[in-house]
């Protein structure tokens, strides 16, 4: 009885953990803009988590640098399953203008499964909200599949 209530309520308020993997801060500013009153993604239930252990969705910005890679992978591993990983901007998807640099070892998809890519440099707030909504749907499907596998 309570399992159904908990599962449904968790789907309505996913917590985000943001990881900056060496970005120029353009995507970081857009993520914050999405959470502020103008776009107000918090009304849809999205909240920033202070710790990866409290998060449901991981949002990664910036090219994956050699120095940030172990920290990014460690933070992602601390997010409880099922989790959803979102890359925001062109940098974590391809390296963008930093591709080929001696310090960039991305894209992130070489190291972990990425569920949602929000494209753009920097992505528009509407695209970020759409990406988070897609991530929430994927997260709910993962929870349903996990619950179905336990029975």
> 149 lies in a domain?
no
Give me 106's structure tokens.
Answer: 């991305």
Measure the CA–CA gap between 78 and 116, rounded to whole angstroms.
Answer: 19
- Whole-model pTM: value is 0.85
> 101 lies in a domain?
yes
| Long-range contacts of 108-113, Cβ-Cβ distance < 8 Å, separation of 24 or more | 108/21, 108/60, 108/64, 108/72, 111/64, 111/69, 111/73, 112/73, 112/76, 112/85, 113/85
Measure the CA–CA gap between 95 and 63, rounded to whole angstroms.
Answer: 5
Considering all CA atoms of the chain, what is the largest pairwise distance in Å, rounded to the nearest integer? Answer: 54
CATH number at residue 87: 3.40.50.12280
Q: Tens-digit pLDDT profile for the chain (151 aa)?
A: 556 665 565 556 789 999 998 888 888 899 989 988 888 888 888 888 889 998 999 999 989 888 999 999 999 999 998 899 999 988 888 888 888 888 888 788 999 999 999 998 889 999 999 999 999 999 988 888 876 655 4
Domain count, the chain: 1
> 150 lies in a domain?
no
């Amino acid at each position: 009885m309570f399992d159904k209530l908990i599962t449904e309520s968790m789907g309505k308020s996913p917590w985000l953990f943001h990881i900056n993997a060496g970005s120029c801060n353009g995507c970081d500013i857009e993520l914050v803009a999405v959470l502020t009153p103008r776009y107000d993604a918090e009304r849809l239930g999205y909240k920033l988590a202070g710790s990866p252990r409290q998060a449901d969705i991981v949002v990664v910005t910036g090219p994956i640098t050699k120095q940030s890679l172990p920290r990014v992978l460690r933070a992602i591993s601390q997010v409880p399953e099922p989790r959803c990983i979102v890359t925001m901007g062109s940098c974590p998807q391809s390296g963008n203008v930093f591709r080929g640099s001696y310090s960039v070892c991305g894209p992130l998809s070489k190291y972990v499964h990425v569920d949602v890519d929000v494209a753009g440099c920097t992505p528009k707030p509407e695209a970020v909200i759409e990406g988070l909504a897609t991530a929430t749907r994927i997260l709910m499907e993962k929870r349903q599949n996990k619950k179905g596998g336990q029975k």
